[in-house]
Structure 1
Amino acid sequence: MNNSSSAPVPQYRPAPQGGLCAALLGGLVTAVTLSVWALVATLGSSQVISFSLLPLVVAGILPGWAVILLRWRLPRATHRASWIVGALAGLPWVLSGWLLPAEPSFQMSPVLMVQQVAAFALAGRLTAGALGGIPARGIRKDHLETLAVRLIRGGGLIFFVWIVVFPFLFMVSSSLKSRADYLRDPINLGVNLLQAPEELFHGYLQVLGRFGFGRYILNSSIIAVATVFFALVPAILGAYAVTRLRFPGRAVLSRAILLIYMFPAIVLVIPLYSVFTQLGLRDTRLGLLIVYAAMTIPVALYMLRSYFQSLPADLEEAGLIDGLTRVGVIWKITIPLSMPAIASVGLYVFMIAWNEFLFAFMFLDTPEIFTLSRGMIMLDDQEVPRQFLMAGATVITVPIMILFFRFQRLLVGGLTAGGVKG
């Protein structure tokens, strides 16, 4: 018979103030989220909305408290049901209009009501995420520090994302407006999507047809793609030479790679303008291509040199032993191992050539060979509606964004491809 008996485990009874504290802090997260959403609703409405922070704080405490209670009772279901809690807790304020105390002339539209319900749902979900790992009761100092770090990090992320996203949203929404709507409320981000397509995309039709931006897109594409080719070929060969070959002046050349790139473009534009005029290269695609290649080769060479230095030299030496020439080693070994870096540098060079303005403005005079950045000058006129200018800016920006987001995963995921541990 075993006389030993296990001592009873003392039951921990935390102070009940912990749950209240967690609810208040969770409500703070919700209130901040709703405040941001209210500002967005103000920009997206055709009427000026004035709101008070106190109702937002009070409404924010309730979802935070509900999330805490839900975690205490059903800890595994908290994240799945938190958005429901947030929506239900804020629904009375949405329906009554108390969330956004407005001017007497303001009417709570169905669209704005749906926006506010979605705001409470999002706020409840963010509250649950901010309180992840924090107990419903018995909050300690380290829990408060964790929550404070999450609030600061989340607030900073929202702030910087908004700085980047708002100009793009303003540009796109302005390009889809009619001239009357734009003059009536330029800051309004709302767009009437129910109008006919020819009216909704009137600015783009005018820009691509009347102002010739379709031809400018073709010119920019040809020059940018050609610049990538004529910049990468010498950059790959030069980066390999300063990395693998031994010759007099190699160290000096390696340090002077970026010397050309250090000169401001405004310093070079006048001498190049004079020289290209005498050579007959001004107002030609070839002249612009020469300038772009000269601008991008140094930085492309520098970036590729840094990547080539990280590649193992054993593979190249093995290729030389097997009978490959230096050109064969570059083509069959170095380039395949460096494809992530080459793709990244190529995209960077393409973006430079696509967005370059100064040399295109100084060198090109014939509209038939204008690039997109040069053609934008035609839209910067008092007689041209502002929504046409925004449509042109969107046409320039969207292709670069599509390329970047399309190849971002490929580039980031393959940055270390081709390396050999040793």
Structure 2
Amino acid sequence: MTAHSDHGPVTLADIEEAARLLDGVAIYTPMDGARWLSDLCGGEVRLKCENLQRTGSFKMRGAYTRISRLSDEEKAAGVVAASAGNHAQGVALSAKLLGVKATVFMPDGAPIPKVNATMGYGAEVIFHGQYLHHAMERALEFAAETGAVLIHPYDHVDIITGQGTAGLEILAQSPHVKTVLVPTGGGGLLSGIAIAIKASRPDVRIVGVQAKNAAAYPPSLAAGHPVRLDRMNTMADGIAVGVPGDLNFATIRDLVDDVITVTEESMARALLAVAERAKYVVEPSGAAAVAALLDDPHGFETPAVAVLSGGNVDPLLLGKVIQRGMAAAGRFHYLRVVISDLPGGLAGLLTDISEAGASVIEVAHERISPHLNLNEVEVSLQLETRGPKHAAKLSEMLAERGYRVNV
């Protein structure tokens, strides 16, 4: 198979060829109905489950396409990549399947499950720098020093071509789709899907979704060229990319209808909703498209497809994100209540809270404060409620019973 150049447009024919190449290697991932989202949005919403792809994300599509098209001489020199985790796993498994040595540079603090999986597929992992672009700089140096071929995480025609096969599947699985929402970091998946879909369905609205605290595309599109972010601060490591690639930027500028952002709280709420309602484990970046729907349920024409781009998440982070999602959804309620500092005062408060149907998670006392009388104590409470309406009703009930309540 002829290797593509690093530059030049990707065509629908290229993506169709990649689909044949990936047949039997990558999973034709399912598309699941989401009645809970459909009811909210007033029309059909479906989930494209790339979290169920081999290595737990869409990244293998592009990595295998790229490595398979190397010459025998290039394969013998090995490959090198820089990644926070998902691209690393895609490169590692693809290299293993094709008999190629892989070295992967990862930023310090990369999620442990992604690190372990990358090593488990046989790649050598080397940590370097705080952010992905630091690891990328070292990977480029390594390529120059050793002759290994850099497998870019997003800015190469073969990567875009491979990721675009997900777009072909979306059209086949949801032929009447009107809107496709895609989690976006560097833009390889968004570019590929846009090319695959717009070639035959230019009426479909393609929307990229970025983490607000790591969103390089909005300022870049406004400036007319890729702009590097000074800093990023997001739990969505899978889409934390500080600067768009040149190829991706041009495609997204020309073909993508909109690039929007979602907050950390929105992604946490979406991750929780996907886990509870769809029964899928996704990482924060993988939930970004669902977060956009939850933020603006009537802002997207249906039928709509939200891509779940990845499911590789550290269990410790997952627990924290779920707690944050519950708080964002109003299911964690924080109160400060002044009660009598006499025997039975706290017991009475907890009984009242129990009767209201809330669960107590944490209690703390404060006795020394200028706004408290000598016979009073302030109790800080963290409660689990059924949602914002239940929490408001609880606060009203406590106030009606004579408690001084601060939310």
Calculate the TM-score normalised by the size of structure 2.
0.26
Tell me which structure has the larger Cα radius of gyration: 1
Structure showing the higher helix proportion among its residues: 1
